[in-house]
A = this chain, B = another copy of it.
Amino acid sequence: MLGLMQEQPLLISSLIEHAAETHADRQVVSRDAAGGIRSFGYRALASRARALAEALIALGVKPGDRVATLAWNDHRHMELYYAVSGIGAVIHTVNPRLFPQQIGFILNHAESCCLFFDPGFTALVTELAPGLTAISHFVEMADEAAVPLPDDPFVRQNYEHLLAGRTGAFAWPPLDDRAASGLCYTSGTTGDPKGVLYAHRSTVLHALSAGGPGGFNVTRDDVVLAVVPLFHVNAWGLPYVCALNGATLVLPGPRLDGASIYELMRSQSCTMAFGVPTVWMGLIDHVKNNPQLRPPDELKLRRVIIGGAAAPAALIDDLQDLLGCDVVLAWGMTELSPLGSIGRVPRKGELADEEARRRRLAKQGRAVFGVTMKIVDADGQALPRDGRAAGRLLVRGPWVTSGYFRHDAPLLDADGFFETGDIATIDPAGDLEITDRMKDVIKSGGEWISSIELEGVASSHPAVAEAAVIAMPHPKWQERPLLIARLREGRSASADDILAHMAPHIAKWWMPDDVVFVDDIPHTATGKIQKTKLRERFAGHQALQSGPN
């Protein structure tokens, strides 16, 4: 027997219309490349989004078509989010920090029909344009039309010209809420990028849970600084979360250095800020280098949310101590829209012993409502939630991918779970700890050794600037760990020094069989260590010792 409730679809357009009707006194604040600030109330922004929707339809954009962006965080990018999805098309945000050939691959694979780009990416677009097979319209996101150059390989349209004369008196069409709404490619460390295709239902449900009390808890009283880019998994959903809850959203444009971020936080009275660890490192450096700053007096910041990568303990301490704000760690993936789990880090003195607090720094918090997690062993058998058993992490939920765009391979297990590729433990309280990537873990004698944990311990040696651990094949133990270290400039240390430093912190059988020193550790465009390159380079390496003593 079905209930007798309205089966209203969950549409992205309802988020911006809700903001226009009930949060008209809240703003989207946008900083441009020159540092200029513009503010739009949600009612004005919704009107511009509707005008843009009309313009897109006039350009010939149809439901299901992909509309791509190469842009920083500004109000036009946010307008595109709502206009494109609102008419049933798919907003395809491309990461401009990828290598140009990857960007070209992604645009062609998605067959995006329009490309909206920041003026700062003109050279990149000029380079790519001849190889782009599907783009019919190139639109520059600028106040004024650029002067065309004689050798322009494409016709540049201007964003504001598209909007000119349109009233915004446009009614969003009804849609199936399972319709595709957004597309974001993952840049893995191996293989071609793969596209995750979001839907209206998944996006609205993610916004409700991620923005809710058990997630970011964004309220009408908040001023949210989104340093996380709009091209990076929908800026963790903030354009949706802020409209839903009526928070003012501050979009920083291209300038993300510590000084620029600090000044924007100060001038806009930001209460929450979202970004990856490197951004906060830059901010902390700026504060440390400018002792005249008085962050707790000058800022209204009450919470920093860190995601995208593990946050070093020293960074968390600095944010809590110097900025006087709470630190919240979030774990997610492009395939999870992105939020999977979240947890606030206790401040010093808040827990009985500092050691318990330190252990919490490594954890990724608890699953948000909607995401169901399980950990299983190599054979797929469920493992206990005891905080010790480490297994493959699988997740299920309405904002978890069911398959990649234009990939036929089935992605889910028999119970509908997605394999994250992570190795994790879950403790009895529900706190998740990612201990490794499945492809990076060292399988030694039937047990797993966490490369991430070894890298963390090795990096805590004062002479080590960066450390990477990879598996070496081993006749008896199957695999054994090899530590690759880059030393700080002007510092020296021997392999034995480093291993001796590590010994008290790890099980004896986890000890790397060897340490090699390198001048450079290779990274991907998004800053991850390229372990595939390291494995190639050290394929024939002969270890100092051979397996655990």
Q: Which residues of A contact B (CB under 8 A)?
A: 1-8, 10, 14-15, 17-18, 21-25, 63-64, 90, 176, 178-181, 196-202, 205, 208-209, 211-214, 217-220, 244-246, 337, 366-367, 369-370, 372, 385, 396-405, 412, 416, 418, 428-430
Contacts and interface: CB of A to CB of B under 8 A. Distances in A.
Question: Chain copies in the assembly?
Answer: 2
Closest 10 CB pairs of A and B: A3-B199, A1-B64, A5-B202, A22-B430, A3-B180, A4-B197, A213-B219, A208-B208, A22-B366, A8-B398
- Say what secondary structure dominates the interface of chain A: loop
Given A2-B178, A21-B430, A25-B429, 14 more contacts: A1-B63, A2-B180, A2-B199, A3-B197, A5-B199, A5-B337, A5-B402, A6-B412, A6-B416, A24-B428, A212-B245, A213-B245, A214-B246, A244-B369
B196 A398 contact: no
B90 A1 contact: yes
Contacts of A202: 3, 5-6
B404 A4 contact: yes
B214 A217 contact: no
A205 B196 CA distance: 24
Contacts of A7: 178, 201, 398, 402
A178 B412 contact: no
B405 A4 contact: yes
Contacts of A245: 212-214, 369
A437 to B, nearest CB: 22
Contact of A3 (B5, B63, B200, B428): B200
Contacts of A200: 3
B217 A1 contact: no
Contacts of A400: 5-6, 8
Nearest to A89: B1
B179 A3 contact: yes
A180 B6 contact: no
